[in-house]
Amino acid sequence: MRKLLEADDAARGLLRVAGEIAERHRGTQKLMLVGIRRGGVPLATALKAQLEALEPDHTIPLGTLDITLYRDDASTALPNPRIGASHMPVDVDGWSVILIDDVVGTGRSIRAALDALLDYGRPARVEVCALVDRGGRELPILVNYAVKKLEASSEERVDVHVHEGRISAMVMPLSAPSLYPPPVEEI
């Protein structure tokens, strides 16, 4: 196991990503962040705070998206799925939406998130942001913004931990038990 991102590294990386987003979008008007449950939600919350500090004239809507039923392996990998709530604070039609996840690898979660998002309307544009882009795509998915990029082997996983708003990440062997407790389920 190896430390990939210390909390201070992740915070600096999120600040850099927030600057890239504000620059590319020329501000934050008509920009919505959507965190993919569960790992993307704390990252989206932290990114929202960074963006609003950079662009204080606009409040950025923050949505959450549960992709459980949209996964292409839902019937085989999830015998007892735990389905959570999705929430879109505004109608997505015409908004630039940034889908946010903690780790993007094969691209299958992002594909599922796109399907789920389009059930809420037709955004003007959709981009993807991740704490870690680990490579290994099986689908043609582009990560537009990433705090850290790496090529992890298929025998490794990336564990992201959020504690008191501080985010960190480690690379672990697939066989190793997680060092972090499972996230608390939202009610």
pLDDT tens digit sequence for 52-97: 999 999 999 999 999 988 877 655 555 566 677 899 999 999 999 9
Mean pLDDT, to the nearest integer, of 14-38?
Answer: 96
Per 3-state DSSP, the chain is made up of helix, strand and coil in percentages (nearest 5) of: 25, 30, 45
Where does residue 174 fall: left (phi above 0), alpha (psi -120 to 50 degrees), or beta otherwise?
alpha
Q: Which domains does the chain have, with CATH numbers?
A: 13-69+91-154 (3.40.50.2020)
Contact 34, 100 (CB under 8 A): yes
| pLDDT given at position 63 | 97
What is the residue whose two structure tokens read 């997680």? 178
Taking only the tens place, the pLDDT of each residue in 136-151 is 999 999 999 999 999 8
Q: How far apart are CA 8 and CA 135, in angstroms?
A: 23
What is the residue whose two structure tokens read 């992201």? 160
pTM for this prediction: 0.89
Query: Would you place residue 160 in the very low, low, confident or very high pLDDT band (cuts 50, 70, 90)?
Result: very high
More confident residue, 147 or 153: 147
Is it true that the peptide bond before 38 is cis, omega within 30 degrees of 0? yes
